[in-house]
A and B are shown apart, each in its own frame.
Chain A
Amino acid sequence: MKHKMSFIATVLCVLCLLSQSILRSAANQFLGIAPEDEKYYKSSEVIKCKDGSKKFSRAQLNDDFCDCSDGTDEPGTSACPGGKFYCRNVGHAPLQLFSSRVNDGICDCCDGSDEYDGKVSCPNTCWEAGKVARDKLKKKIATYQEGVAIRKQEVEQAKVAMAKDEAELSKLQSDQKTLKRLVEQLRERKEQIEKAEERERLQKEKEEQEKKEAEEKAKQENSGGEDQEKTKAEEEAKKEKSEDVEDGSAEDKPIESQHDDNVGNLDDSHSYQDTAEKHDDLGTKDGSIDTPEHIGSLVDGVQQEAVKQKKESVATSEPDFDGGSKVPHDEGDDASENTESLSKEELGRLVASRWTGEDTTKESGEVDVTKDSDHEDHEELPKETHDEQSDGYASETDDDNQKYDDEDHEDEADDDFGVEDHSDSGSSYKYESDTDSDLSDVTTLSNPSWLEKIQNTVRNILHVVNIFQTPVNQSEAASVRKEYDESSAKLSKIESRISSLTQKLKHDFGPDKEFYSFYGRCFESKQNKYVYKVCPYKQASQEEGHSTTRLGSWDKFEDSYKVMIFANGDKCWNGPDRSLKVRLRCGLKNEVADVDEPSRCEYVALLSTPAICLEEKLQELQHKLDLMNKEQPHAHDEL
């Protein structure tokens, strides 16, 4: 048995070698040349290097010595670093290899033609591999076919919806005109009525005044002078206080008193709190407060405070600023000044954090004790974002070979493709945008009969109300006022709707408006503990429980609508502002998958969508499949 086996092995081996040597002698000279290129090499005895640098004789073709720097003379060997080797891969797709792959001991071509020096034996796997590839390609084509159809529909729908939007806009604009006129008329009428009423009132007052004057002539009071004195005294006191805090600095004193003069009538006790609140606001709103803008606004805040403040000196406001703007790195620096007071563990964490950027305060307790309890929130925030970051970095992600690609990998036959590959819990929904919340209202507004109604009402009112009548008819005046208020409210609604529509229509929805349906929608993907939200034309975020990190605001499409860019997200500690690149792939549903952070704070995600299932691409794929089918050998059972 054993003998038989080894015999078979020997025969196979010999056959193998035979076939290889046949391959060598027969095809050697034209090895590695693409069929469409053969003419170039066969046409004459002296061949030009394609870059025009040189000429070489037919004998020098594939003689394993590099003559042309572009590799023209060595398509079938590794002699020229710039060369390319073509393998036919009958049964599969042909391939162009770098010449560095020729006879390097690794089978690159499925037909094994790149390894012919006998050092390794590469079995021909084109049939099997080709079948897999064809099946894959077929699947991809199927996806595309369906995707193209969906896309067509969506493009149609988008056109309709957009036309509707545009129609609504122009309708709204004309309504706005009409309504504006009406409001104007109502306003005039209202003012006339008010004037009339004012006249009446003045008349009445005059009469009463005369009566009163007669009665209270003798009694008089002087309260204004007292008031003035009080203010002065207050100011003195305040001045002293602020000088105390300022250590009586000579330069500051006059400035400070000038201050007082300017802001003397502001409520002191309030100004500090104001600023503090401002800080809090900043913190909560943006999740992180160490972005330049935030610091900028903090600067403003503190500045305003400096102007306003009286009891609180700059000295008190400073630590306040400090607390608000502190980034973990600073904490490290500050703490390093007095590491002696730290426990061993705290010190260890602190020093480790220099490399890792991890927050040391969280686990080790209060390394950096904040004096001002008002600012606890500020301390919290950078911490939180920071934690997310480091966790996010280590987070697990689903398989996708093309994760960090900057190029479009759809062109590659072996691209792992198709919606079914992504089983993420992706979902999409429409978001309730502020502008759209008016929608129902505005729909009612845009009802023409409604507008007519207003017009009629107004006409009636204007007609009926007699402004020269004295006294003014109270019910008529009230209805004018009511109508005015209602109409102007409606006008402002229309105006806001117009502006939101204009904003919307300004966006780039792609050459066929295929991305129109993305407007006002969000796509979600849950990965581990994070929920990623991608809202085209708006923003993208990463959510964990109640904390939200902004990955970026909508920026633009890139790479001919194959990539969506979200930029200027929340600041990363020790890194750039967060950003998200969403790569689009043809798929049947709009689904986000594979959010990842290949580089610190630079996220990438994959969104499958029918919106980019292009007809041309489908044809290309079909052509590729046709080619692959054509190349199939008739008799596969050669050996």
Chain B
Amino acid sequence: MKKTQTMKNLTLLLLLLLLLTCHLSPVLSWKKDEFRNCNQTPFCKRARARNPGSTSLTAQDAAISDGELTAKLVLKRIEQQETTPDQIKPLLLTLSAYQDGILRLRIDELDPPRKRFEVPDVVLPEFEGKKLWLQRLSTETIDGDAAPSSVVFLSDGYEAVLRHDPFEVYVREKRGNRVISVNSNGLFDFEQLREKGEGEDWEERFRGHTDKRPYGPQSISFDVSFYGADHVYGIPERASSFALKPTRGPGVEESEPYRLFNLDVFEYIHDSPFGLYGSIPFMISHGKARGTSGFFWLNAAEMQIDVLGNGWDAEAGIALPSSQSRIDTFWMSEAGIVDAFFFVGPGPKDVARQYASVTGTPAMPQLFAVAYHQCRWNYRDEEDVEQVDSKFDEHDIPYDVLWLDIEHTDGKRYFTWDRMLFPHPEEMQRKLAAKGRHMVTIVDPHIKRDDSYFLHREATEKGYYVKDANGNDYDGWCWPGSSSYLDMLRPEVRSWWATKFSTENYVGSTPSLYIWNDMNEPSVFNGPEVTMPRDAVHRGDAEHREVHNAYGYYFHMATADGLVQRGDGKDRPFVLSRAVFAGSQRHGAIWTGDNTAEWDHLRVSVPMILTLGLTGISFSGADVGGFFGNPEPELLVRWYQLGAYYPFFRGHAHHDTKRREPWLFGEKNTQRMREAIHTRYMLLPYFYTLFREANTSGVPVARPLWMEFPSEEATFTNDEALMIGSSLLVQGIYTEHAKHTSVYLPGKESWYDVKTGAAYKGGKTHKLDVNEEGIPAFQRAGTIIPRKDRFRRSSTQMVNDPYTLVIALNSSQAAEGELYVDDGKSFEFQQGSYIHRRFVFADGKLTSLNLAPGQTQFSSECVIERIILQGLSTGQKSALIEPANQKAEIEQGPLLLHSRQGPTVLTIRKPNVRIADDWVIKIF
């Protein structure tokens, strides 16, 4: 009897387990097996198996030619037992120096049987103009080498060294410490193109897909060392910690290398070295001792990067200069050439600027794009759109952009409308535009293979599709079913594509419509690893394997160009893309793809955004609320509170989820989300100023703490908090029912809680009480933040509203801040049509200084209606405005207008000085 019971229990248990796994499967449904790991990727496996010191190349014939240092890399003849045929021919190495401490290293085959792919249209054309014409090289014998090394000038403080034997390239401080080096561990390998040998099989198979690999092995790998480095960062995109953890070395668990291969990863997990939708092969090192440096390898093929933990090479017996702390990394790529850039820093912002001088600064967005976006898969019909729009108004919640996902189209044929659901798209857009709002529709790169679809017909006729290995138009599967993919690598395809966005060609569009590029990795549902086969063929016989990571970049570029053309070059484009490559910042915004409504995904959004920012992509954000799943109201509220500080702020949801517009969770939660969104609108002048800063300098809007406090070690691994510009520090709340949190506030100066006005000492960790009303955010003492405190329906109506300046004085009773204003839409700012002020508070005087050069055509009647003074040590009573010689009262006023029981602060009442003017306000 008892045994029967046991049996019963067993059955029950079994069934329960079954149920449980059924239940859990959505949570753990990252399909790991569908993607190749390093061991399943032959080039990666080969490279990773090599030992340090195995490079058998030496540099010879070093000489200056055309202002560059060139040399040949040839195989050492000595003691090489087996010379494989692919290592016979010499390689050509070129070193060139550019302004601002940038060294470029190129290594390619001298005379390859087939041209290896070089990524076009990523390096700015004007970058070539910054090349320094090297005059001479000096030689120097290093560490008792047999052969002397060649040394060339890089910048005032730095020089580049080509060590001949063993072959090594590095940048060092003049006659001093090394900064970055390549091949110091002797891992360099370059698989040269060659004839297929007798009986050789070059094909690769993975899960039923065959890659023909007609050109055989052609991978490149080498080690890069960063000196004086405590941590390395960068190489997005993945959901993992901000400071990159070692992937190999003693004490490191068996780990995959960091993978750079653009993939559409269904339900990605929040802590994995696995690559996601974008790839930027740019790594930044930072250390207390030396500062910051960067290394960028322009290569669009699959890349795998190991961060090597201390002592990884213990057995190799190679002695590198060890006086400096050093981080070794190992870079492997399936194809392409070596085209690498060394950035010397030494500050974090220097590296950002240096990188931006190669790949460009972020485009200046329109003001509306910096505001709040409302998206869902899908707002189903015109009525739904109208409904959601009016609900925002009813609840006095501002928003600027309403988005339509794939279901708005006629059968996923982009540039068309489902006329049942959207019979009057122009009218719908005009209605939104009448409230100053915009619309975004989705346009993906897969084109439905349907002969009645004009795009498909034209693309087929013109031969604009990517070809498969057999030379036919590649036929893959995506939303519309059978689809082909435009060869965006070809400039003529991009120009053709760009014309499709004119209001005449895009029927049903109006000038207030902007674009969203999704699935541009490209995502191919029935392709290997959910993408295009590597042996597909692009223009000039480039293989997809060589182009892959940049495919989405070209698509993004062509779409943005289309919108520029549509507006006659007078309207800044807005295009959101999921796929990313180096330089994507020039084309528009990026979001972190299909995340999940989980606390861990909220948390990981911060390192993801910080990493993107560090690698040039300033305009980024995560889907607020989480794409998959239904967030608890608390999580949703927290996400809005943090998302309000994302550079790109959009709520989005999967179509299986419950509706989650901000008013659907009870008045209390509506109020919290409204306040979060209002906070963003209030800070729009500050954000817009930061976007301009990014646009001119490459310094991102959202920054790691150490970008502002480079010598504070406590900030190096902090990826829970972020700096918005140099003045605001924000930290999310990442746990349920949190009552307390710890926030580290760096620096020597104090920080002012933006809601309570309370001051906190810098340089220490504070344990803070938290409630559901907000997340910790602080203004750094010594800064001035411009705000617009009046609420409107959208940013469009805020244009004429007056400003508030929030001044937080530092210990020497001083503060500084900037304000940038332009028309918010056009490119006229590029001709100097803008207002750019610096506000300086010192010696009891607030001065507005002009930062705009020369005469500006842009003006504004906007005034400053309120100046808030925090940290003023003496009780001044009134203010005198010069040159008008007017008096203004100083009184106690609210820190935030909308908070009922908020704190009061010293306020200069109605100074009403114009932001366009020079003025001084004296306080006494």
Contacts and interface: CB of A to CB of B under 8 A. Distances in A.
Interface of A: 51, 53, 63-67, 69-70, 78-82, 98-101, 104-106, 119, 252, 254-255, 258-259, 262, 295, 299, 302-303, 306-307, 314, 318, 321-322, 325, 327, 329-330, 333, 336-337, 339-342, 344-352, 354-357, 393-394, 396-397, 399-401, 403-404, 406, 574-576, 598-600, 602
Interface in B779-793: 789-793
A539 B435 CA distance: 43
Contacts of A119: 800
Interface string B644-662: 0000000000111111000
A574 B26 contact: yes
B386 interface: yes
B790 A65 contact: no
B477 A344 contact: yes
Contacts of B155: none
Nearest to B476: A348
13 contacts: A82-B900, A104-B792, A106-B434, A255-B7, A330-B25, A333-B29, A348-B481, A348-B524, A399-B383, A400-B383, A403-B387, A404-B387, A600-B655
A531 B762 CA distance: 66
A119 B34 CA distance: 59
Interface stretch (B8-16, B569-577, B867-875): B8-16
Given A306-B8, A345-B526, A397-B381, 17 more contacts: A69-B900, A79-B865, A82-B900, A100-B792, A101-B793, A259-B7, A325-B18, A339-B34, A339-B207, A339-B208, A345-B482, A348-B476, A351-B266, A352-B477, A401-B383, A401-B386, A406-B664
Contacts of A104: 792-793, 797
The 5 closest A-B pairs by CB, nearest first: A348-B477, A340-B208, A348-B526, A351-B525, A104-B797
Contacts of A63: 910
B479 A69 contact: no
Tell which of A67, A254, A404, A602 has the most Cβ of chain B within 10 Å: A404
A12 B68 CA distance: 73
A348 B478 contact: yes
A347 B910 CA distance: 66
Interface stretch (B684-692, B837-845, B891-899): B891-899
Given A339-B34, A340-B207, A598-B659, A330 B22 contact: yes
A401 B796 CA distance: 26
Contacts of B755: none
B656 A329 contact: no
A403 B386 CA distance: 11
A51 B900 contact: yes
Contacts of B113: none
Given A333-B25, A349-B477, A403-B387, A81 B4 contact: no
Nearest to B435: A106
A350 B207 CA distance: 15
A251 to B, nearest CB: 8
Interface residues of B, number: 78
B319 interface: no
A401 B387 contact: yes
Nearest to B666: A406
A79 B659 contact: no
Contacts of A306: 7-8, 11
Contact of A81 (B1, B384, B530, B678): B678
B40 to A, nearest CB: 14
A438 B664 CA distance: 46
B897 A69 contact: yes
Contacts of B256: none
A78 B4 contact: no
Interface string B1-37: 1011011100110110011001001100101011000
A575 B656 contact: yes
Interface string B763-804: 000000000000000000000000001111100110011000
Given A340-B207, A576-B658, A100 B434 contact: no
B6 A255 contact: yes
B34 A347 contact: no
B655 A349 contact: no
B898 A69 contact: yes
Nearest to A330: B22
Nearest to A599: B659
A349 B656 CA distance: 18
Contacts of A393: 380, 655
A106 to B, nearest CB: 6
B525 A352 contact: yes
A255 B894 CA distance: 77
Contact of B4 (A259, A318, A576): A259
B396 interface: yes
B286 interface: no
Contacts of B4: 255, 258-259, 262, 307
Contacts of B29: 333, 354
B517 to A, nearest CB: 17
Contacts of A341: 208
Contacts of A342: 208
Given A254-B3, A303-B12, A345-B477, A574 B525 contact: no
Contacts of B899: 69
B866 A65 contact: yes
A314 B11 contact: yes
Contacts of B678: 81
A355 B477 contact: no
B902 interface: yes
B421 interface: yes
A574 B387 CA distance: 26
A393 B792 CA distance: 33
A406 B420 CA distance: 26
B355 to A, nearest CB: 34
B407 interface: yes
Contacts of B866: 65
A330 B899 CA distance: 50
Tell which of B479, B789, B865, B894 has the most Cβ of chain A within 10 Å: B894
B801 A65 contact: no
Contacts of B380: 393-394
B396 A403 contact: no
Nearest to A402: B387
B8 A303 contact: yes
B790 A78 contact: yes
Contacts of B420: 396
A62 to B, nearest CB: 13
Contacts of B390: 401
B164 interface: no
Contact of A347 (B25, B26, B525): B525
Contacts of A337: 33
B205 to A, nearest CB: 9
B381 A396 contact: yes
Contacts of B266: 351, 354-355
B396 A65 contact: no
Nearest to A389: B656
B900 to A, nearest CB: 5
A575 B26 CA distance: 12
B658 A602 contact: yes
B526 A347 contact: yes
Interface string B127-140: 00000000000000
A116 to B, nearest CB: 14
Contacts of A106: 434-436, 793, 797
Interface string B630-645: 0000000000000000
